[in-house]
Amino acid sequence: MKIYHNPRCRKSRQTLAILNEKNIKFEIVEYLKDNFSISDLKIIIEKLEINPIELVRKNESIWKEKYKGKNLSDEEIFQAMVENPKIIQRPIVTNRKKAVLGRPPENVLKIIN
């Protein structure tokens, strides 16, 4: 199990706390330091069962300044997320088969029970 974590994000810290409380073994990936590859993101999107645009934080200033209002392909959205990881929803928790967004943090319970 992995948590794609931003230590400055309250929801991310809360999700991490739930994993610790449940004594789950997991790996922490600080995705702002250890950037995603496009293939990583494609696997996560598949596990989340969402479209790439649904993983984007559309209120981030980077998104608004560079991408808002543009008709982007999925590949262009993946590229935007790789180049600007701040625009990726967080936290993301994955296991071998599924993934969830920790918004709300209790969503993590869906893949650990």
| 24 in active site | no
Give yes or no for a contact between 4 and 90, defined as CB atoms under 8 angstroms apart. yes
Catalytic residue among 1, 9, 50, 72: 9
- For residues 84, 105, 98 and 61, what is the CA-based torsion angle, rounded to 10 degrees? -20
Question: Which residues are tagged catalytic?
Answer: 9
